[in-house]
Amino acid sequence: MPRLRTALEQALDADMPIQEAKEPLVHVYAYAGFPRSLNALGEPMQLVDARRQRGVQDTVGREPGAVPTGDALLALGTANQTRLAGGPVTGPLFDFAPAIDVFLKSHLFGDIFARDNLDWQSREIATVDMLAAMPGVDGQLQAHMRISLNTGLTPSQLQQVVQVMTRQVDAASGARAQAALARQLRLQP
C-alpha cells in the first residue's frame, strides 16, 4: 500500500484525473477479489482528501456511462469477450460449470469491460499487473498477455510494463510477467 500511495500521488501530481487513478483499482477486483480492491481504493480516497485539505484541486475526470442490463448485457459481454480473446471462448470448464461462463460474460466482460471511462488497453495493463503480482495464476496471466496484444498493445509496450513491474513491484512479479510475455510471443504466428 505505501508504494501504491506513492504511485497514486505521482499520477495525480502529473494531472491524472481521479477517475483514471481509481478505475484500475475497481477493475482489478475481478482478479484480486473485493477485499484487496476495497483496501486499495482506500488509498486514493485518503490521498485525494489529504490533497484537498492542502488546497490541491485534482481533476475528477469522467464517470463511466451506463451499461446495459439483462440479456443485452450478456450479449455485450459475449461480444466483448470474443473480440478481446480473438474468438469465441469455450471449453470443458464452461461445460462443467456453465454459471462461471455466464458470470465471465455478463459481469467481467459486460459490466466491467463495458465501463467506458478507461480504455481496454489500460484495463489489460491493470489486469496483467495484478495477475503477475499473484503467484499461481499463470494460465490467466498468459491469456491476458494474448488479450493485451489483441487490444493493440505492442510487445515493446508490454516489455515496458514488465520493466516497470520489476522495478516498482518486485522481481518475482516481473519475472512472471516476462515469462508469460515470452511464451505468448513464441506462440504468435
3 pLDDT band, cuts 50/70/90, is confident
Residue 154 CA to residue 161 CA, distance in Å, equals 11
Q: Mean pLDDT in the chain?
A: 96
Per cent of the chain over pLDDT 90 is 97
Residue 180 CA to residue 4 CA, distance in Å, equals 24
pLDDT tens per residue, range 83-129: 999 999 999 999 999 999 999 999 999 999 999 999 999 999 999 99
1 pLDDT band, cuts 50/70/90, is confident
Q: What is the pLDDT of residue 188?
A: 85
Whether 155 contacts 146, CB under 8 Å: no
Whether 115 contacts 124, CB under 8 Å: no
pLDDT tens per residue, range 125-149: 999 999 999 999 999 999 999 999 9
pLDDT tens per residue, range 20-32: 999 999 999 999 9
